[in-house]
């Protein structure tokens, strides 16, 4: 998880959505939940590979919308526009 966490933002900025969706989608939801940023990046990857409806459905099943993290909050604000 540490290696993935260290490189996930860079992969996101490079547009590696399919790769991120595949890798992060293989993780158990309970494990992914422990890493808010990876969970948020997974939402972006799903949104770009499977569509916004699936991403929003997954987002509402998380606690990301109530996160106190400024980084996560910025992603939430971006995704709502």
Tell me, what's the pLDDT at 38?
96
The string of pLDDT tens digits covering residues 5-59 is 899 999 999 999 999 999 999 999 899 999 999 999 999 999 999 999 999 999 9
The rounded distance, in Å, linking the Cα atoms of 19 and 64 is: 22
| pLDDT at residue 41, as a whole number | 96
Q: Are the beta carbons of 32 and 39 closer than 8 angstroms? A: yes
Query: pLDDT grade, residue 77 (50/70/90)?
Result: confident
pLDDT score recorded for residue 30: 92
Check residue 27 and report its DSSP letter: S
**Average of pLDDT values for 70-79?**
84
Residue indicated by tokens 């996160």: 67
Domain extent, residue 48, equals 2-79
Mapping DSSP onto H, E and C, the string for 24-81 reads: HHCCCHHHHCCCHHHHHHHHHHHHHHCCHHHHHHHHHCCCHHHCCCHHHHHHHHHHCC
Query: Domain count of the chain?
Result: 1
């Amino acid at each position: 998880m540490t290696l993935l966490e260290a490189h996930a933002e860079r992969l996101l900025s490079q547009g590696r959505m399919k790769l991120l969706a595949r890798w992060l989608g293989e993780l158990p939801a309970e494990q992914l939940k422990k890493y808010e940023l990876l969970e948020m990046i997974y939402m972006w990857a799903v949104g770009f590979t499977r569509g916004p409806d699936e991403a929003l459905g997954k987002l509402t099943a998380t606690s990301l919308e109530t996160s106190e993290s400024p980084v996560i909050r910025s992603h939430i604000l971006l995704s709502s526009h």
